[in-house]
Structure 1
Amino acid sequence: MKSMHVKAFCQLLAFSLLGVSALALAQDGKMYPIDAPDEPTAIALNTGGVDGQEAEESWFRQWGDPMARNISKATLTPVLADPAKANGASVIVAPGGGFMWLSMGNEGWEVAEALAAEGINAFVLKYRLQPTEPTLDAFETQMNQRFAQAENATDDEEAPKRPRWDLSDQIEDVEAAYAMILKRADEWKVDPARIGMIGFSAGAGLTMATTLESDKVDLAFIGPIYGGLNAVEVPADAPPMFAAIASDDFLFHGQFGLISAWHEAGIPVEFHLYQNGGHGFGLGNPDRTSNKWFEAFMHWLDVNKFLTESTQ
């Protein structure tokens, strides 16, 4: 397994959880239960269940977006580019949600559709989550308690209230997704040398954890979007990185450690700090400068020749 700085990783995860708190549980962000949507193209990854999971997978809607929780069986949903436009580049998309739910709409399916429209094969990863309470009201109480712990946490790695999580299940889900994409590369018109991963909030944390810890996933590029920015120990073979966050995101604390670490390691990195956009903006919210991040990401992929097959 690739090594990393334990304290920095714990900070990154804590900030990823803290980052969803105000958006997800604000008074004007009421949760409404919904029936599970049809996912006819979702493929089971068969990576096992979740210890302590008793409640069944359930869905709710918030801010108009479908959210899933109590996920104990990971799936991968291919959103393939039109063959006439496909360029072979492919991206695993990891939604966020503090590892307790997944924002499947604005940070999953919508992003995948946008990538596919640009000729990029996208694969939405519905990864396993930590167990939560069966009822939505109890879940909201549970989340408020968890966020209070995160908000009271300090940078001291000995602080007793800092959330510390084992992401081995979630990394295993990424590894299974990556293996499946490689196995079906010919069928899906995937160039194995140009498979990247993009994640949002906690999904950005999972993207980073996979990059730093897994020796079974060889990503060509990564895109952590509004994730934690604490410094980490960068592996020598780490991929180029595109990162973006808004300055009014309460997850951003004026820290640039992650960006500096990539730069100091001599690995290509592009960083966009937007004036506004808050947290959880997905592809964008009205009248925010962060709305241009996807165009910038596509330009970065193009300039770095990830959208064209290598002739070497």
Structure 2
Amino acid sequence: MNKDGTDFLLGRRAFAALASTLLLLGAAKPAVSAVGGEAGTNMGKGDTNGTFSRRSTIGEIVRDPAFKGFGEYVLPLETLGHPYRKLDETSLDMPLTRLPRLLPYHTNVNVDAACGILNRLKARSLAGDRVWIPLSHEGAGLFFYPTSQRPGDSPKPFVLIAAGGGFVYVGSIHEGFPYAEAMNKNGMNAFVLQYRVTRGGSSAMEDMAEGLDFILSNSKTLNVDPKGYALMGSSAGARMAAWLGSIGLEPFGYKDRGKAGAVLMAYTGHSDWQPDDPPTFMVQGTADPIAPVRVVDNRMRAMREVGIPVDYMRVDGVAHGFGLGIGTAADGWINRAARFWAKVRTRN
């Protein structure tokens, strides 16, 4: 609810239009020095097993046959100013040690962790797993992280994850794929959204709505439980998750399927909400220069006052874009978010 209470007067479709507009206008400018350096030991290029290392180049990664059809989306290449298919050879020769430079909104970027993520994704693709689901618009799709793909397994809940990037890039390598792997460890299926940034928040919201509708429409084929799903995101992606959690699918032209079972949000200055919003988890650092902690504090208090279940993890001294927060005071937040989601699912 906005301060003047006008959200009560908005219809669902008008609210969706307002959401897209505010998302576009609310995108923050990149921090000037938001990332760390390139510390660590150089391991050379990919080894004899074809695995990626710190010295693997962007070209080696995006052109790897295991990533055919989606290689341009495993790294935030939008940061370079143009889509993958137009990258020049200088950009393609950039080593993965420079990954932090592709994530100007983010901190705590770990190149070695990114290598592991890429290698595990490659191994799954080579094993024949369904890892990529294209959506209807070029530049949009879903990375699928199932808890299991064995026939006969009972369906587990799913979470749809949207990484941040200020609507100028999609930082899934830092806060999409790592979140999905963590949710798998907590027994949940996960989908990581690759969304378009060419039209800012409006196209991103359209892609998230389409992705959610696809999952719900194909839950049996995907072997996921459509009940009590969660929407999750960080920064710009958290705005997306919160908006879709508030308004649902109907304003985007899809069948009304009810609201999400939970919204899980990390470091965003998103302030709007509705009295019937889903249960919400929020984590926020007090040293965030992009998303002021006071905004999150106020939103938390207002939601609790109307009875919305909220779990708020306020982390002292942590800045914006920390991802999993490993090695920081925010370490472990994602497991707390998973427990919160499981708890509210049980209640419902």
- TM-score after normalising by structure 2: 0.62
Q: 2:246 aligns with which of 198, 212, 228?
A: 212
Q: Which residue of 2 aligns with 1:224?
A: 265
> Structure 2: which amino acid aligns with 1:264?
E
Distance 1:23 1:108, change over 3 A: farther
- Cα deviation for residue 39 of structure 1 reads 3.8
Contact 2:233/2:240 (8 A) holds in 1: yes
CA RMSD of aligned residues (A): 3.6
Partners in 2 of 1:210 and 1:7 — Cα distance?
Answer: 12
Q: Does 1:82 align with 2:148?
A: yes
Contact 2:261/2:344 (8 A) holds in 1: no
Q: Which residue of 1 aligns with 2:288?
A: 249
Q: Which residue of 2 aligns with 1:290?
A: 330
- Cα deviation for residue 124 of structure 1 reads 0.5
Pairs aligned (count): 254
Partners in 1 of 2:249 and 2:19 — Cα distance?
Answer: 20
Q: Which residue of 1 aligns with 2:225?
A: 191
Distance 1:270 1:122, change over 3 A: same
Q: Which residue of 2 aligns with 1:139?
A: none
| Mapping for residues 159-178 of structure 1, pairs under 5 Å | 167-178=201-212
Contact 1:204/1:224 (8 A) holds in 2: yes
Q: 1:17 aligns with which of 24, 28, 53?
A: 28
Q: Does 1:260 align with 2:270?
A: no
Partners in 1 of 2:280 and 2:274 — Cα distance?
Answer: 11
Distance 1:224 1:261, change over 3 A: same
Distance 1:235 1:4, change over 3 A: farther
Distance 1:127 1:173, change over 3 A: same
Partners in 1 of 2:315 and 2:13 — Cα distance?
Answer: 31
- Cα deviation for residue 221 of structure 1 reads 0.8
Q: Which residue of 2 aligns with 1:153?
A: none
Structure 2: gaps (5+ residues): 1-11, 40-54, 71-80, 101-108, 116-136, 251-256
Contact 2:139/2:195 (8 A) holds in 1: yes
Q: Does 1:56 align with 2:83?
A: yes
Partners in 2 of 1:293 and 1:88 — Cα distance?
Answer: 21
Q: Give CA deviations for 1:21-52 in whole Å, capped at 9, x if unaligned.
A: 2455x58479x97235354696xxxxxxxxxx
| Mapping for residues 83-122 of structure 1, pairs under 5 Å | 88-122=156-190
Query: Whose relative contact order is higher, 1 or 2, with alpha carbons under 8 Å and at least 6 apart?
Result: 1
Q: Give CA deviations for 1:35-84 in whole Å, capped at 9, x if unaligned.
A: 35354696xxxxxxxxxxx9424687224359xxxx95201011000268
Partners in 2 of 1:41 and 1:120 — Cα distance?
Answer: 26
> Structure 2: which amino acid aligns with 1:304?
V
Distance 1:233 1:92, change over 3 A: closer
Distance 1:21 1:130, change over 3 A: farther
Distance 1:190 1:263, change over 3 A: same
Partners in 2 of 1:244 and 1:128 — Cα distance?
Answer: 25
Which structure has the larger Rg over C-alpha atoms? 2
Distance 1:283 1:99, change over 3 A: same
Structure 1: gaps (5+ residues): 43-53, 132-164
- Cα deviation for residue 240 of structure 1 reads 0.8
Partners in 2 of 1:7 and 1:174 — Cα distance?
Answer: 16
Q: Which residue of 1 aligns with 2:237?
A: 203
